[in-house]
Amino acid sequence: MPFIDSKVSVKMTKEQEILLKTKLGKAIEIVPGKSESWLMTGFQDEYHLYFRGDDSVPTAYIEVKVFGGENKAAFSKMTEELCKIFDEVLGIPADHVYVKYEAVSNWGWNGGNF
Protein backbone atom coordinates (compact mmCIF):
# COMPACT_ATOMS: atom_id res chain seq x y z
CA MET A 1 0.00 0.00 0.00
CA PRO A 2 2.56 2.62 -0.87
CA PHE A 3 1.58 6.19 -1.71
CA ILE A 4 3.96 8.70 -3.25
CA ASP A 5 2.70 12.27 -3.22
CA SER A 6 4.70 15.09 -4.75
CA LYS A 7 4.45 18.84 -4.80
CA VAL A 8 6.68 20.56 -7.32
CA SER A 9 7.24 24.21 -8.09
CA VAL A 10 7.34 23.70 -11.85
CA LYS A 11 4.58 23.22 -14.42
CA MET A 12 4.23 19.60 -15.53
CA THR A 13 2.98 18.33 -18.86
CA LYS A 14 0.78 15.24 -19.02
CA GLU A 15 3.70 13.41 -20.64
CA GLN A 16 5.99 14.30 -17.73
CA GLU A 17 3.34 13.17 -15.25
CA ILE A 18 3.00 9.80 -16.98
CA LEU A 19 6.79 9.42 -17.13
CA LEU A 20 7.05 10.22 -13.41
CA LYS A 21 4.28 7.72 -12.61
CA THR A 22 6.09 5.04 -14.61
CA LYS A 23 9.49 5.71 -13.04
CA LEU A 24 7.99 5.85 -9.53
CA GLY A 25 6.33 2.50 -10.22
CA LYS A 26 9.76 0.98 -10.77
CA ALA A 27 11.43 2.91 -7.93
CA ILE A 28 8.97 1.69 -5.28
CA GLU A 29 10.39 -1.80 -5.75
CA ILE A 30 13.48 -0.59 -3.89
CA VAL A 31 11.41 -0.99 -0.72
CA PRO A 32 11.12 -4.73 -0.02
CA GLY A 33 7.62 -6.08 -0.55
CA LYS A 34 6.36 -3.00 -2.42
CA SER A 35 5.36 -2.88 -6.08
CA GLU A 36 3.56 -0.74 -8.61
CA SER A 37 0.55 -3.06 -8.42
CA TRP A 38 -0.43 -1.39 -5.11
CA LEU A 39 1.17 2.02 -5.66
CA MET A 40 -0.92 5.19 -5.67
CA THR A 41 0.71 8.42 -6.84
CA GLY A 42 -0.35 12.04 -6.56
CA PHE A 43 1.07 15.10 -8.29
CA GLN A 44 0.63 18.80 -7.61
CA ASP A 45 2.51 21.10 -9.92
CA GLU A 46 3.10 24.84 -9.76
CA TYR A 47 3.08 24.56 -5.96
CA HIS A 48 4.55 27.57 -4.18
CA LEU A 49 7.72 26.21 -2.55
CA TYR A 50 10.38 28.39 -1.00
CA PHE A 51 13.68 26.78 -0.07
CA ARG A 52 16.17 28.86 1.92
CA GLY A 53 13.78 31.77 1.44
CA ASP A 54 14.03 31.57 -2.34
CA ASP A 55 11.65 30.32 -5.00
CA SER A 56 13.84 30.87 -8.09
CA VAL A 57 15.15 27.27 -8.34
CA PRO A 58 12.81 24.36 -9.18
CA THR A 59 11.95 22.56 -5.94
CA ALA A 60 10.10 19.40 -4.88
CA TYR A 61 8.56 18.06 -1.68
CA ILE A 62 7.84 14.33 -1.84
CA GLU A 63 6.05 12.14 0.70
CA VAL A 64 6.39 8.37 0.63
CA LYS A 65 3.97 6.43 2.82
CA VAL A 66 4.23 2.68 3.17
CA PHE A 67 2.16 0.14 5.06
CA GLY A 68 4.31 -1.64 7.60
CA GLY A 69 7.60 -0.84 9.26
CA GLU A 70 10.49 1.44 8.43
CA ASN A 71 13.39 0.30 6.30
CA LYS A 72 16.06 2.99 6.62
CA ALA A 73 18.45 1.37 4.14
CA ALA A 74 15.75 1.07 1.48
CA PHE A 75 14.49 4.59 2.22
CA SER A 76 18.02 5.93 1.72
CA LYS A 77 18.30 4.21 -1.68
CA MET A 78 14.81 5.43 -2.52
CA THR A 79 15.79 9.05 -1.79
CA GLU A 80 18.72 8.74 -4.18
CA GLU A 81 16.42 7.33 -6.88
CA LEU A 82 13.67 9.92 -6.32
CA CYS A 83 16.18 12.76 -6.63
CA LYS A 84 17.48 11.24 -9.87
CA ILE A 85 13.95 10.84 -11.29
CA PHE A 86 12.77 14.35 -10.46
CA ASP A 87 15.98 15.82 -11.89
CA GLU A 88 15.73 13.79 -15.11
CA VAL A 89 12.04 14.44 -15.71
CA LEU A 90 11.51 17.95 -14.31
CA GLY A 91 14.99 19.44 -13.95
CA ILE A 92 14.73 19.70 -10.17
CA PRO A 93 18.22 19.44 -8.63
CA ALA A 94 18.73 16.97 -5.80
CA ASP A 95 19.70 19.73 -3.40
CA HIS A 96 16.20 21.19 -3.83
CA VAL A 97 14.29 18.00 -3.02
CA TYR A 98 12.94 17.05 0.40
CA VAL A 99 11.61 13.53 0.91
CA LYS A 100 9.51 12.52 3.91
CA TYR A 101 8.93 8.86 4.75
CA GLU A 102 6.15 7.52 6.87
CA ALA A 103 5.55 3.92 7.88
CA VAL A 104 1.84 3.44 8.49
CA SER A 105 0.45 0.66 10.68
CA ASN A 106 -3.23 1.29 9.91
CA TRP A 107 -4.20 1.38 6.26
CA GLY A 108 -7.69 1.12 4.84
CA TRP A 109 -8.75 -0.15 1.43
CA ASN A 110 -11.85 -1.57 -0.16
CA GLY A 111 -14.08 -1.02 2.85
CA GLY A 112 -11.72 -2.50 5.44
CA ASN A 113 -8.33 -2.15 7.10
CA PHE A 114 -5.22 -4.24 6.83
Q: How far is CA 47 from CA 6, 26, 113, in A?
A: 10, 25, 32
- Confidence class of residue 99 from pLDDT cuts 50, 70 and 90? very high
Q: So what's the pLDDT on residue 114?
A: 87
Q: pLDDT tens digits, residue range 20-74? A: 999 999 999 999 999 999 999 999 999 999 999 999 999 999 999 999 989 999 9
100 three-class SS: strand
Q: Which amino acid is at 36?
A: E
pTM score, whole prediction: 0.95
3-state secondary structure 27-67: HHHHCCCCCHHHCEEEEECCCCCCECCECCCCCEEEEEEEE
**Do 41 and 21 touch, CB atoms closer than 8 A?**
yes
